[in-house]
Chain A
Amino acid sequence: KAGVTQTPRYLIKTRGQQVTLSCSPISGHRSVSWYQQTPGQGLQFLFEYFSETQRNKGNFPGRFSGRQFSNSRSEMNVSTLELGDSALYLCASSGGFETEAFFGQGTRLTVV
């Protein structure tokens, strides 16, 4: 059974640009959560999608948005990139009614 797949693995963008990250959850999982990880800050929750609806949201500005498709794949978009957006972005999937979350390898975003 394939795990959580995130693409791309690495990305370099310029300040002011926008970026879209992709996450394919484990087959059969309907919940996808996104996290931002920076050194010393741990995992900061961005949002969770379940059956194409945003179910939970963290405390990030509106520049961060996401969506989920009918096949449970999810995308995360960051507009007007800032230097401080440089981080490892992690996606986690779960069955939706369990609490165990399984992570992808992450996308390392560098904003220059």
Chain B
Amino acid sequence: GQQLNQSPQSMFIQEGEDVSMNCTSSSIFNTWLWYKQDPGEGPVLLIALYKAGELTSNGRLTAQFGITRKDSFLNISASIPSDVGIYFCAGLAGNNRKLIWGLGTSLAVNP
């Protein structure tokens, strides 16, 4: 099935560093969602974006809906050990209610 291009695939950083990850698509999306998944748990919604150019923050997390509507970015500032997990992007195009998912970015934080 269709998938988003999410990068990087994995990251290993030091505590306190900033993190940036992104998702791109060949198609235009109307909605971008960012989720975090802890091991053995279901994904948890972090940020939802509904408008091109929109910049939304949730604590140390900031996400942007790309102007072209074909990409989205997630930044984490001043990372801490509990940021460890897999981050997924998901997008929704047109009237199709089926979310399209990226393969995830696995984040490891060294204390």
Q: List residues of chain A with CB under 8 Å of any chain B CB.
A: 4, 6, 31, 33, 40-45, 48, 55-56, 58-59, 88, 90, 92, 99-106, 108
Contact = CB atoms under 8 A, between A and B. Distances in A.
Interface of B: 1, 3, 31, 33, 35, 40-45, 48, 50, 88, 90, 92, 96-99, 101-104
A42 B48 contact: no
B61 to A, nearest CB: 16
B31 A99 contact: yes
B1 A58 contact: yes
A45 to B, nearest CB: 6
B103 A45 contact: no
10 contacts: A42-B88, A43-B88, A44-B1, A55-B97, A99-B31, A99-B33, A99-B48, A100-B33, A101-B99, A103-B42
